[in-house]
Amino acid sequence: MKIAIIGPGAMGCLFSHYLSRAGHELMLLDYRPERARSIAEQGVRVEEAGELLTTRVPVTADPGAVGGAELCIVAVKAYATRDALLRSRPLIGPETLVLSLQNGLGNVEAIAGVVPGGQVLGGTTAQGANVVGPGQIRHAGTGETVIGELLGPGSRAAMLAALFQEAGLEARTTDDLTGLIWSKVIINIGINALTALTRLPNGKLLDYPGTRAVMAAAVKEAAAVAGALDIRLLYPNPAERVEAVARATAANVSSMLQDVRARRRTEVDQIQGAVVAAGREKGVPAPVNETLWRLVKTLEASYAEQLGS
């Protein structure tokens, strides 16, 4: 299959590596031409089980150079989804499927603002990877990728799940994309902002009564917002589930902490911010999440003024 992956971050590199090695015709897109050139020269490098594997993948900053793709995987940060799609329009024809496996709320809706909804799929991935340098990642842990169609159940999600499985990536489908995405966002609500603010790896959040209490309160609020929206979560006890994920990914540096360490913008607007906004619309207050949101926004805004330790 001819596949374009938009965004050479941790997930973009990981999926490029696996899908290219499975024999698909891959193209990796980066909006920064110098970085695209450097990744094209050095290849996508994945540290896995003590080995450094290099996969040669064409990389370009010019979506017009690619020709049409059969599948586009959107792997940019959630705040960049719409702009990335607008830039990538030359790749997307009437038959192209566009798949988001990003963190946060609003991605599939942003894609459907540019591409007809029938072509849009979304999902979540429990793959863990950290960026080591441009085009180089460390594959920190495996987990399943779940895919659903924006307009409801259909055969394309199953086709893409099979494509992932054949490439050695555990995958399955869901008929309830909204429930799936909210279920993942609630995990991110409990872990990401707290790790970014404390600079702790995921598992350490459970070692301190303070972080544990804030985690429980933030998750309770977000679950109440989901409830007010009639969203069905995939697990009965959100607080327990978030703790279980923090334990299972104990050594992970969360994606938000990776952003803060690299002094980049985070996805907190699409995680805490989006849940607070949804709660406001439904009359469900979310003060703990609002506080976490404001603190992470302050961190982002003040990188240049922060004191070293």
- Residues in contact with ligand PAF by CB under 6 A are 103, 128, 187-188, 191-192, 202, 245, 249, 252, 254-255
Question: Measured from the CB atom, is 88 or 252 closer to ligand PAF?
Answer: 252
Fill in the DSSP letter of residue 134: T
Number of neighbours of residue 86 by Cβ within 10 angstroms: 10
Compare residues 27 and 76 and give the one whose CB is closer to ligand PAF. Answer: 76
DSSP letters, 54-71, are EE---EES-GGGT---SE
Catalytic residue, chosen from 2, 77, 184, 282, is 184
| Beta carbon of residue 45, minimum distance to ligand PAF (angstroms, whole number) | 21
For 147-168, give the secondary structure using H, E and C.
EEECCCCCHHHHHHHHHHHHCC
CB of 256 to ligand PAF, least distance (A): 6
CA gap 296, 291 in Å, rounded = 9
How many C-beta atoms lie closer than 10 Å to residue 265's C-beta? 15
> Which of 119/249 has CB closer to ligand PAF?
249
Task: Identify the CA nearest to 223 among candidates 180, 277, 188, 183.
Answer: 183
Q: How far is the CB of 279 from ligand PAF (least distance, A)?
A: 21
CB of 193 to ligand PAF, least distance (A): 10
Nearer to ligand PAF, 60 or 252 (CB): 252
- Annotation says 204 is catalytic: no
Q: How is 6-34 classified by DSSP, letter by letter? A: E--SHHHHHHHHHHHHTT-EEEEE-S-HH
> Which residues are tagged catalytic?
184
